[in-house]
Amino acid sequence: MKIILSVLAASLLLASCSGETDRNSSKIRIPSTMEAKGYPAHVHLKWDENTGSTYEIYRAEDGGSFRRCASVEGGEYMDFSIGKSDVPRKFSYRICPAGFPADSAARLQVDAEVPAASDSALLDMVQEYTLGYFTDFAHPKAGLARERSNDRNGDIVTTGGTGFGLMAMIAGVERGFIAREKAMEIMDRTVTFLEECETFHGAWAHWYDGDSGKTFSFSQYDNGGDIVETAFLVEGLLTVRQWLADTDDPAEKGLAERCDKLWKDVEWDWYSRGEEALYWHWSKDHGWKMNHKIRGFDETFITYVLGVSSPTHPISPKVYETCYKDSPVYFNGKEYYGIRLDLGMEYGGPLFFTHYSFIGMDPRVLNVDGFDLYERNKAHSLIHYRYAIDNPKGHAGLGADLWGFTSSDDPLVGYTSHHPNTDAENGTVSPTAAVSSIVYTPEESLGVIRHLYYDLGSKVFGKYGFYDAYNPSMVDGQQVVKTFLAIDQGPQVGMIENYRSGLLWDLFMTAPEIQNGLERLGFTK
């Protein structure tokens, strides 16, 4: 429950101290509004910020006496010191200027209702916070998702991560975490940007400068079309289109039509170069210099599904057979910890392989080369779980409640992959890995979510959900990489929603083009 103290009430409290209280010859500023919202094991306070001011936060439980919690600068505070409880609780908070006691007239007070700890409330919280990356932190002009929270290159936005964010917003609207009007406004800005920015035979670049709309190079020769990132974006655009299919609102109908046009403008066949192959990159400056065929079972699976499904620029299903499957890491058939893995590299690779393509595409109804795709993805997740329990390198903390390895930031080497049985696996766990696998491993993933939130709390949880990486083998102070990445935050919201309701799977799979493409590929059960 959220309670906001009004400006009028604040003015009454301030009357006894003349609006601005003089203490030690300096003006003491008191916020005019403050709000508090309770979650299973913390309360989030927000107030109108006076730059440079320091505040004392006091808390009382259920009518008890006020005790000081913290001294805070800025405009918000997350109180993790309340802990979890099996029953609902009520707390009162007071905010005072630095140096003032809780009973000072120079204060604001709000109440917060804290729900009993439950998995439902826990998942609500993770979805709500993580969604903020794509709403509150969306690029103010472009609407697209920023690449990361600590970008040194300016306001760089990402297309693939934006596709995940579009699906996250749909879940957020249906859960009541964000007003439909706000989501539509962000989506409209996003689609406008995508219509106006430079494309490359209908495909978008991996990155753009959100302010100028110009392509931002992902690497030396990668400054043009990226058909894989385009696929992740189109996954989101098609889900939005299907979500709005039955709307009576003219603006929403128009947005659905614009999403449809963007999807149909992508020239998937161009990226085959007239061959029975599919290539990842093309640049106006460098042509096909990257020369990267999309091969092997990994996160790029949806690129072939969309390419074959396109009603305007399709590729042949034969391209999947001759290119994607033409790789030593397509078929597997080995067992790891007694778990058979039919498709993919050793140990399955990083877990984002089982996430990105399947936020919209429903693996439960797919059969690939005679293999149940849901069971294949479940096996991949369980192998990571068992690997952490086995913990062959003896890393601190790994086990049943701390597992999941994928590409993410790293406490030592920056962004890298951490998948099992490789030199890069250094004990770093990326929360998105287990959280986004919840559709495959519900209880195992919930074990990680409970541990990260209830046991570690503010150490690993911040403004937009779980931080990007945690390595308890490091010395304290270096264990957590306090960053957020679009491609790591988006799958958490979407996959939790698919676990809870199947919403995004149901929407994406209603697209008639997708049904046709899956049948052409022979993937339907």
Give yes or no for residue 13 having a pLDDT over 60.
Answer: no
pLDDT at 28: 67
- CA atoms of 31 and 107, how far apart (whole Å): 8
Would you tell me which CATH number, out of the four given (1.10.1280.10, 3.40.50.300, 3.30.470.10, 1.50.10.140), belongs to the domain 121-521?
A: 1.50.10.140
Give yes or no for residue 99 having a pLDDT over 50.
Answer: yes
Report the CATH architecture of 2-115. Answer: Sandwich (2.60)
- CA atoms of 100 and 121, how far apart (whole Å): 35
- CA atoms of 508 and 366, how far apart (whole Å): 14
Residues 197-217 pLDDT 10s: 999 999 999 999 999 999 999
Residues 323, 328, 334, 340, CA torsion sign:
negative
Element (H, E) at 227: helix 227-243
> How far is the CA of 324 from the CAs of 317, 368, 441, in angstroms?
11, 12, 27
- Percent pLDDT > 90 in the chain is 90
Q: What residue spans in the chain does CATH classification 1.50.10.140 cover?
A: 121-521
Residues 285-318 pLDDT 10s: 999 999 999 999 999 999 999 999 999 999 999 9
Q: What residue spans in the chain does CATH classification 2.60.40.10 cover?
A: 2-115
Identity of the residue numbered 358: F
Higher pLDDT, 18 or 190: 190
Backbone angles phi, psi at 237, to 5 degrees: -60, -40
Q: Where are the alpha helices (DSSP H) in 144-208?
A: 159-175, 180-196
pLDDT at 445: 98
The SS3 call for residue 508 is: helix
Give yes or no for residue 2 having a pLDDT over 50.
Answer: no
Q: What pTM value is reported for the model? A: 0.94
Residues 250-290 pLDDT 10s: 999 999 999 999 999 999 999 999 999 999 999 999 999 99
The b/e string for 233-267 (b: 16+ C-beta within 10 A; e otherwise) is bbbbbbbbbbbbeeeeeeebeebbebbbebbeebb
At 16, is the pLDDT very low, low, confident or very high (cuts 50, 70, 90)? very low
Give yes or no for residue 17 having a pLDDT over 60.
Answer: no
Residues 428-475 pLDDT 10s: 999 999 999 999 999 999 999 999 999 999 999 999 999 999 999 999
Burial of 496 (0-12, 13-18, 19+ CB in 10 A): buried
Looking at residues 87-111, what average pLDDT do you find?
Answer: 94
